[in-house]
Structure 1
Amino acid sequence: MALYLYYTLFGIVSLCLLRFKVHRSLHNALPFPPGPLGLPFLGYVPLLWERKPWVQFEKWKEIYGPIVHLKIFSKTIIVLNTHEVALDLLGRRSKIYNGRPRSLLIDEMMTGGLAFPLVGYNELCVPSFYVGILLMFLIYAGNEGGKDTVSVNPINLVQDILQDPKNWHLHIKSSFYSLFCSVGYGENQPSGNDEATAPSYLENFMTRIVHAAIPGSSWTDVFPILASLPTWLSSSNRRYERQFREDSRKFEALISELEPDTLEQVSMGANILGNRGNELTVKESAWLTAVLCGIGGEVMGSVLPIFFLAMTLYPEVQRRAQIEIDNVIGRDRWPTFQERNKLPYVQAIVREVLRWRPIGPIDVYSTRFSAVLSSGTWNEFYFAFQIGLIIVDLLQDDHYNGYLIPAGSNCRTEYLLYPDYEEFRPERFLDFEQDVPGAHGQGHVSYGFGDRICSGMHIANDALFINIITILHACDITKVEEADRAKADDTFADFGIVTWFDTVRTTPWFNVAPGFVNTFFSTSPLCDDDVGSAAHVSHTITTARSLAEL
């Protein structure tokens, strides 16, 4: 019996070695790119707890060159350290570099494979991605009502921040969820904490997704066999199954209330339902709408606080922008999109915010940060000092510069495009004539490369512009107390923006008594159809000034 087991084990080992040898010979025995060896069986696991992985990547670049290879457990990680290499692979070979790192917990157990922007490549990805691009933000871009929807939220946001400055980061998050749900489900979606509303429910949903990506939150991705346990034996599996059914019911209920034939309003969900010839079911359409709205709210909710950080660290930038806004718009009305081309410095700030602290895609094997998808919650987007950190999965074996990059590799970029990349300097975009290759006219690659480029790029730019200009027009962002700039930058490391929330405050920027701003917002309801109009703003400011002089 013992001899039988010995021969069986010997045969299995021999087959494994033979398979490995054949596999290597098929690739002409090309070596992997150079990189740190790590520990046996574990690989370079310290990366999972690295506070600033981009710093480590920079060190490896000096040692190993533009392409670095390492392993974490059984996962192959390929770090691309230059723009040229990233453009060659993620841009020109995007057909095979458009996968997403797979998480069994998120991809299957929590979303049923229906959350295509979050999951790895599957048969639903292609039609969903097509629908998401053509019907979500292209509809927005072609509908003037889209900009009207975006314009209302910043006014409400400024009101909330000035009335409750302590929780400004929560107001930002709530505002962007409301915005994207308005785009997804039509009409103005209310912000707030009512879980019955679409924005609050999606915020809760995305929080659960983000928590699931934190290392140690679940052993399912480490030991996939746990996902096969029956629900009566695993309380976690039972909870995920119950929550998935509840999410599906809610998402389908939200989309079932839409009228597919009523396209006068900006409603991505209605357009998705009206174009189900793409073979998406009602359930798939409901999840597509919900996830796109959820991701939009979470991502944008984390970008705007980066602007707040920049304004506290670089007050001279804030002052210059406010002077430009005053010269073009004045003080008797709200900013609008009509002045966009007259405000080059504000537009440069929008680009610089995205370049300075780019946000990368979700990756289960990456170091996790807090508040990545939004302010105030634990999440795992990368905030790098560099031009970008983009994470994809390779769909098939590839060869590059004499190296083998095996299928399933987790490829991430980490590279510099500007010599003073740590500095927040919008001036770099003022004479913006030649675009960065692969940047799609943005001057940065924070929106990604290739086929998995962010489909919400246009609405994101619009939302950032109108929010930034409205905040600069109405508020002055200052530090609570003087702090060392290097220390402030350091707090932005692995915990995203949460750690510096208490280091800033917002005060009225208007050169009158504090009651001026309070009266400005209370004179007329902000939810009126004419909010932001010249007549509305002129009336409220006139009344406020009269009261302030008393």
Structure 2
Amino acid sequence: MKVDATWNAWPVVGAAVLALTVWWWLRSRARAPFFPGPKGLPVVGNIFNLPKPGKEEWIAYAKMGNELGTDIVHLNVLGSHLVVVNSAKAANDLFEKRSLKLDWILGFLPYGQKWRNYRKAFHEHFNPTTVHQYKPLEVKSAHQLLFSILTAPESFMDSIRHMAGHTIISIAYGIDVKPANDPYVLTAEKTLHSVALAASQGGHLDMMPWLADMPWWVPGAGFKKVADECHHYGVEMLEAPFAAAKAAVAAGKAAPSVATSRISQLDANSSASDRTMAKILPGNVYLGYPYGVIQTVSAIQTFFLAMVLHPEAQKRAQAEIDSVVGTDRLPDFDDEDSLPYVKALVKEVLRWHPVVPLAIPHRLEVDDVYDGHLIPGGSVVLGNAWAMLHDKSVFPEPSRFLPEHFLKDSDLFPDFAFGFGRRACPGRYMAWHSVWIAVVSVLAAYDISPAVDEHGQEVSPSEDYRSGIVSYPERFPCRIKPRTKTAEDLIIATQNIVS
């Protein structure tokens, strides 16, 4: 008797499907559950729950966690996983204690021996001891900022960017940049803008890797066009200043710098990796993983915004400076420990609006279970620094600008403003010095107040910030005037100009 093979196969197929379903159900029951997250849709998951780019995503993620009653939020995006960490404890556990399981999706190098070599090299130039050698240059840059503001107070935000660029490029390459429109600064500005934009647009690439094969005009793949621009500017930034430093060394006219130090160590027997290190290390000094200069720029711009909105903090800081430093000179680094309120004010600037509010995304290499919940391998993990620095159990009234947050405990520091774990900003000590000397110098020399309209009424600026991997305050107007004629004379004297 002939048997219909097709017909008899159906029970076998059905049994296999049933067995597979039961196996998957048992496996999923045996695994730890995901962290809470918003309810998603079939197939696309939580793609419509993601904050809109450019809309202060860090606040949206913090609100999402509060509504769900969890410090860690899990989102499923087209079958991939995004985990947002909103608490300091969880960030410490995941980014510090378990960092061997994490790899950065936006870092310049993956974790490994090469990364360790670069980190060690960075530490040689920017550890807490060696950064003191850069203080005279940071003072010079702060004084240049004071003079630039005096000549063009309406362009103070541009002056801040130029001051930071001057400091970092001088330290990295020994190049004394022009007072305005310096080509090295302009190229670096374009590079930083492209890096920030590409990272903010392409940050979810690991969750949706198929976007890498799509043309740039496909929705969601626009970051590829920006990435091309980033590459172009990045090559220009890396090559041009290094060539200038190398020529200066050859001519015996090089100023001390990271590039000068590395180039001087090269000889005919130097390896290819040493030569690569000599070129890439000073370039990364500016980009700073990606802090560096952008940490300084954003923090000082935030300081000006805070002084416009909170004149009482400005007056108290100025009173402390007048009492300790006097009015016949400008402050210097020797005054730092004698100005506790100013130090607390600078810490509050870093806390109030952190420069990198969502830090840099991590990618989990293997499955991990934390606090009884599963974080699947391949998940993109975001550390919400903004949420941690606005934890009201640590910082009462966190939305207010209150230097008092750091006065009771002088050892308290807004660490998360500089990143997490072994990938924390390697230039954070120098960044602190640059921000502190700029802030104390401006406070000693200028009064900062709201702008006025055509009717003489004060105009209060908004607190809007540009989103992306790096957050800057939107441009805002304000009035900046020398506090006294003596202060104006001190500013002019820093440039060896007779008034």
Bucket of the pairwise TM-score, normalised by the shorter protein: 0.7 to 0.9
Which position in structure 1 is the counterpart of 2:275?
282
Match of 1:267 in 2: 257
**Is the CA contact 1:203–1:298 (under 8 Å) kept in the aligned structure 2?**
no
What whole-Å deviation, never above 9, does each CA across 1:252-278 have from its counterpart, x for those lacking one?
A: 414524649x99965222344466889
Q: Which moved more, 1:345-354 or 1:59-68?
A: 59-68
Does 26-35 or 286-295 show the bigger shift? 26-35
Cross-structure match for 2:125? 136
Structure 1 distance, partners of 2:23, 2:162, is 55
1:29 aligns to 2:31 (yes or no): yes
Q: 1:346 maps to what in 2?
A: 342
1:432 is paired with a residue whose SS is: coil
Would the alpha carbon gap of residues 161 and 223 (structure 1) be closer, same or farther in structure 2, given more than 3 Å must change? same
SS in 1 for 2:137: helix
- Specify which of 36, 47, 51 is matched with residue 50 of structure 2: 47
Where does 1:337-416 land on structure 2 (aligned, <5 Å)?
Answer: 337-360=333-356, 382=357, 391-413=361-383, 414-415=387-388, 416=391
Change (3 A) 1:389 1:203: closer
The Cα of 1:353 is off from its aligned counterpart by 0.7
Whole-angstrom CA distance in 2 between matches of 1:240 and 1:319? 42
1:322 has 2:296 as partner: no
Answer with 1 or 2: which has the greater Rg.
2
CA contact (8 A) 2:446 2:482 kept: yes
1:501 and 2:494 correspond: no
Instruction: Provide closer, same or farther for how the CA distance between residues 92 and 27 of structure 1 changes in structure 2, counting only shifts above 3 A.
Output: farther
CA offsets, 1:105-124, max 9 Å, x none?
xxxxxxxxxxxx44554664
Give the Cα–Cα distance (whole angstroms) in 1 for the partners of residues 466 and 186 of structure 2: 28
**Aligned AA for 1:340?**
E
Structure ranking higher on relative contact order (CA contacts 8 Å, 6+ apart)? 2
Cα distance in 2 for residues equivalent to 1:401 and 1:227: 41
Q: Aligned partners of 1:27, 1:178: CA distance in 2, in Å?
A: 58
Q: Note if contact 1:185-1:267 (Cα within 8 Å) is conserved in structure 2.
A: yes
Q: Write the deviation string for residues 511-550 of structure 1: whole angstroms up to 9, x where unpaired.
A: x4xxx6666555x572x6xxxxxxxxxxx7xx75xxxxxx
| 8 Å contact from structure 1 (residues 178, 189) kept in 2 | yes
Question: Does residue 1:145 correspond to 2:133, yes or no?
Answer: yes
The aligned counterpart of 2:187 is 201
Helix, strand or coil: the match of 2:347?
helix
State the shift of 1:475 in Å.
0.7
User: Could you tell me how far apart the structure 2 residues matched to 1:161 and 1:178 are?
Assistant: 15
Task: State the distance in 1 between where 2:153 and 2:329 align.
Answer: 23
Of the candidates 172, 178, 203, which is equivalent to residue 184 of structure 1?
A: 172
Letter in 1 for 2:119: F
User: Displacement of 1:31 after TM fit?
Assistant: 2.0
Deviation at 1:412, TM superposition (A): 2.1
Is the aligned partner of 1:215 residue 2:185?
no
Provide the residue aligned with 1:292 in structure 2: 285
**Structure 2 residue corresponding to 1:82, chosen from 73, 84, 87:** 87
Q: TM-score, normalised by structure 1?
A: 0.71
Alignment of 1:467-486 (within 5 A): 467-481=438-452
Equivalence map 1:38-187=2 (5 Å): 38-39=40-41, 40-41=43-44, 43-49=46-52, 51-62=55-66, 63-73=68-78, 75-97=80-102, 99-102=103-106, 117-118=107-108, 121=111, 124-132=114-122, 134-138=123-127, 141-142=129-130, 144-186=132-174
Q: Is the 8 A contact 1:70 1:76 kept in 2?
A: yes
| Deviation sequence 1:212-236 (CA, Å, 0-9, x none) | 33539999976212589xxxxx999
% same residue:
24
CA contact (8 A) 2:149 2:159 kept: yes
CA shift for structure 1 position 246: 4.2
Judge conservation of contact 1:157–1:172 (CA < 8 Å) in 2. Answer: yes
* Counterpart code for 2:36: P
Matches of 1:82 and 1:238 in 2, distance apart? 36
- Given the alignment, which residue of 414, 421, 430 partners 1:459? 430
Q: 2:136 is paired with a residue of what secondary structure?
A: helix
Q: Give the Cα separation in 2 of the matches to 1:448 and 1:402.
A: 25
Partner-residue secondary structure (3-state), 1:290: helix
The verdict on how the C-alpha distance between 1:142 and 1:19 changes in structure 2, with shifts beyond 3 A counting, is farther
Q: Secondary structure at the match of 1:421?
A: coil
Which amino acid is 1:471 matched to?
V
Superposition deviation, residue 67 in structure 1 = 1.7
Contact preservation (8 Å) 2:160, 2:297: yes
Instruction: Give me the whole-angstrom Cα distance separating, in 1, the residues matched to 2:22 and 2:137.
Output: 57
Question: What is the rounded CA distance, in whole Å, between the counterparts of 1:37 and 1:185 in structure 2?
Answer: 52
- Is the contact made by 1:69 and 1:77 (CA closer than 8 Å) also made in structure 2? yes
CA contact under 8 A between 1:177 and 1:298: conserved in structure 2?
no
TM-score, normalised by the number of residues in structure 2 = 0.78
- Give, in whole Å, the separation in 2 of the partners of 1:410 and 1:394: 7
Contact kept, 8 Å, 1:34 with 1:69, in 2: the verdict is yes
- CA shift in 2, pair 1:244/1:215, >3 Å: closer
User: Are the structure 2 counterparts of residues 484 and 93 from structure 1 closer, same or farther at C-alpha, using a change threshold of 3 Å?
Assistant: farther
Structure 2 equivalent of residue 423 of structure 1: 400
- Report SS of the residue matched to 2:425: coil
Answer whether contact 1:179 1:189 (CA < 8 A) is retained: no
Distance 1:257 1:137, change over 3 A: farther
Contact 1:356 1:422 in 2 (8 A): yes
Q: Deviations over 1:80-122 (max 9, x none)?
A: 222222221122222323x3234xxxxxxxxxxxxxx445546
Find the partner of 1:313 among 303, 309, 325: 309
